[in-house]
Structures are given as C-alpha cells and as structure tokens.
Amino acid sequence: MSVVSIDPWSGQVQYRYEYMGAAEIEARLHAAQRAARAWARTPLEERAALLRRVGGLLRARREALATLIGQEMGKLRREALAEIDKCALACEYYAEHGWRYLEPSPVATEAKKSFVAYQPLGCVFAIMPWNFPFWQVFRFLAPALVAGNVALLKHAVNVPRCADAIGALMAEAGAPEGVLGILHIDNAQAASVIADPRVAAVTLTGSERAGRSVAATAGQNLKKCVLELGGSDAFIVLADADLDAAVATAVASRYGNAGQTCIAAKRFIVVDAVADEFAARFVAAAARLEPGDPADACSTLAPMARGDLADSLHVQVQKSVLAGARRVLGATGDAGSTRFPATVLDGVAPGMPAYDEELFGPVASILRVRDPEEAVRVANDSPYGLGASLWSADRELAERLALGLEAGAVFVNTVVRSDVRLPFGGIKRSGYGRELAEHGIREFVNIKSIWID
C-alpha cells in the first residue's frame, strides 16, 4: 500500500513510501533475534558508549533533524530543536547512570547469598506516535538498549522519515545490525509482530483506541506491555497562586506543540476568587499567539499535524458550545485545514466534550470551583490520570492536595513534563507501566531472584 507524508503547513506531499511486505518484516525479525543474543552479552560499558555516540550525533545533526520534524508533523522550529536536545540528554543520562539501575541488589535473607539481578528480556517492539517523533522513541530506546535489549520500531505513518533518520543515526553510531529495526507497517501487520515469539515485550505511546488493541493482542500472547495513552491534565489555580507565573506557564503548556501533547494542561480548574482575573489574563495571552509557518521564528502557534485531527477537535468544540460552554477566544476553522486558532472555552461543565474528553489540540477549558477541595474533586472527575499541575503559595497545602490527585505525576508551581530522572506514566485510561528513571529501565528486564545456600 502506498502512503504519503504531507507537510501540515503547506499541504504539499513531502514523501511517498510503501508498507513493507512479509519478507522484509521477516528479515528484520530475524535480525533482531540474532542481535538480541549478542547485544545482551555485550559489556554494559560498550552499550553505554553506543548511546554516547548517538547523543553526539543528535547534537551534531540537530538542525537537519529539526527541519525534518517540522516538515512531517509541523512542530515549531525552536520546539523541534529542543526535542532533539532532550533526546541527546536521555542518551547521555542512561550512558552515565544506567549501570546504577542494573546493578544486582543484595537482599538480606537466611541464605548465604541472595540478590536480585536485572537481565534483558530480548526484543522490545515499540509503537510510537507522531507528536514527538524523536523524543517518544528515545524515551524508551535509551533505557532499553543500555539494559541489553534490542528494539523494533513501528512509527506513526505520517513521520516515516523521522523513523528512518533514527535508524540511520543508530547505524552511523555503530549499532550492530538488528539492534534497532525500522518497520513501515500497518496495524494488522503490527499485530502479527506482537504475536511473533521473537518479540518479548511491547511498548506503545498513542491513543486509547490503539492502547486497547495493542493490550488485547499482547495479552493474548502473554507479552509484557507498557502503555502511555491520552491525558486530560488538570491545571489547578488556588487563590494564593502567583498569577503571573501561572498564566505564562498555562499558555505555554496548553498551546505548545499546537496543544498536541498528552501531558499538556487541558482543564484549567480555577477557584472563584481569582477565576475572572486568571481567565482575562489567559485569554489575552493566548490571543497574542501568532499562527504561522513552523520554520519561521516569528510563529508562536504551530499548525495541527493533520486536517482530520483539526476537524475532530472542531466537532468537540462545537458540541461543548451547544451544551453551554462559552467560546471566549477562537473562530471556526475551515474543514480540512490544519490551521486551528488558539481557542478558550469558559464555563465548562460535566456532559460537555471539553469536560469529559481529551481535547488534543489548541483548545483550553476553564472550569470554576469554590475551593481547593472542589478543585481536587473536579480534577479527579476524569477517566484520565496522566499528570496534573497545582499552583499555590502554601507548599504544605499543595503537597497534601497533590497526594490526593489521581495522576501519575503532579508538579507544583511548574509545568508537567517528562524528566529522564523521574518515572513517567499514568493511571486509569492514561495507561499503565512507567518510562524513564530506574522504573522505566526495569519495565523491560527480567527481575530475577537468586538464592544461594
């Protein structure tokens, strides 16, 4: 089947390619199986050295790679450059610290010696999204490789050249054949790869629909699976919050990457005492965003990645307005256009898509509450549980409220982000399992107990 990659800003076809046939898929599975044995036996120092070389190449090629990201999914250039830098940092971090997470852990028992060893599983099959076409890959790849696993990558269909660029970087850095295999395949072919006995585990970052499908196939085949799915992150603003910092962070979080970020702030839950002021400042700041060509340094709002995604978001906005939400910023976009304006909905309440669903694009929802306790209740009144941000000058109160929020991460007085030093992942319909830090690297190892009498 022929597939095209379209520049979201210009609408021009950038690239055409074909899905792989059975023979190509088999060749990559065979190469991964062959490489897995040798890579697991490769000294950790050599695996770490490969990651350092990859990190260096990412930094050396950052300008060209950022251009590629902009052409394939429309990210603003400065955001694309920051994404490449973050990938390099992840490679360097695991090259330096990975051994600490993989060292055998002694356990005091009545045995002469007892400890826990961490050994690679084999081949990890990764199904990755388009919104961070390099970072999402390296977020799993760096820890997986340093742990001694090999990987197969099925990337999103609209970022094929980003996938190939990652493969080329790995090869240039000296990765043995089969340590990373790129698969340009459809969903049915991906299900067959999951089921293949040469694949030990699966990791997916993507939609809830994709998560259900991948989890079902992995479960049928008794494969370890990590899912990082959608989010509808709460951004809670209490009466004593620093509004200057909160508004600036709120706008950056909601509209960065054209709002196409799983951990972007999406539901702005503000106590009544400061709701009017927060809303006025937020709307004014959002109105200053300048849509434009992602390659232009003056652009401050990127296009959405695809026209169909923008159309779906428009439907969610229209349904929310019909249900009583007030659109205080943003105009109706043209059907099929990726140029979705910065939009703000106020008066959002249960029963509206803006309350109940994830809005994956540049639309903010403002929800007004009486007090901190209601703020937490409303934040938790969501099927998602990825991240949350909470703003208050009272750190003791903020910590107590943070512990009551149903999310995989809570950031107080700052933006939610994935940090290589901290575990990342969600609960409820945001998925399960963790990436990054020691928790992420240990998702794809055999945690083996050794008892010696």
What domains appear along the chain, each with residue ranges and CATH number?
2-229+430-452 (3.40.605.10), 233-419 (3.40.309.10)
Backbone angles phi, psi at 263, to 5 degrees: -100, 15
Residue from 374, 408, 368, 364 nearest 388 by CA: 408
- The arithmetic mean of pLDDT across residues 40-60, rounded, is 98
Residue recorded with tokens 């009551």: 404
Encode pLDDT of 127-145 as tens digits.
999 999 999 999 999 999 9
pLDDT at 36 over 80: yes
Residue from 405, 413, 396 nearest 376 by CA: 405
Residue type, 29: L
Catalytic residue among 83, 262, 406, 443: 262
In the residue annotation, 225 being an active-site residue is answered as: no
pLDDT at 331: 75
In the residue annotation, 228 being an active-site residue is answered as: yes
Categorize the per-residue pLDDT at 251 as very low, low, confident or very high, splitting at 50, 70 and 90: very high
Cα radius of gyration rounded to whole Å, the chain: 22
Q: What is the percent of the chain with per-residue pLDDT over 90, rounded to a whole number?
A: 98
Secondary structure element (H or E) that encloses residue 147, with its range:
none
Task: For the beta carbon of residue 106, count every other beta carbon within 10 angstroms.
Answer: 10
Rounded to an integer, what distance in angstroms lies between the CA atom of residue 130 and that of residue 136?
9
Encode pLDDT of 338-394 as tens digits.
999 999 999 999 999 999 999 999 999 999 999 999 999 999 999 999 999 999 999
- The arithmetic mean of pLDDT across residues 272-284, rounded, is 98
Catalytic residue among 72, 228, 406, 443: 228
How high is the mean pLDDT of the chain? 97
- The arithmetic mean of pLDDT across residues 321-334, rounded, is 89
pLDDT at 333 over 70: no
Encode pLDDT of 92-109 as tens digits.
999 999 999 999 999 999
Structure-token pair, residue 207: 């939609």
Structure-token pair, residue 365: 């929802």
Residue type, 307: G
Encode pLDDT of 392-445 as tens digits.
999 999 999 999 999 999 999 999 999 999 999 999 999 999 999 999 999 999
Categorize the per-residue pLDDT at 1 as very low, low, confident or very high, splitting at 50, 70 and 90: confident
Rounded to an integer, what distance in angstroms lies between the CA atom of residue 187 and that of residue 213?
9
Rounded to an integer, what distance in angstroms lies between the CA atom of residue 398 and that of residue 377?
14
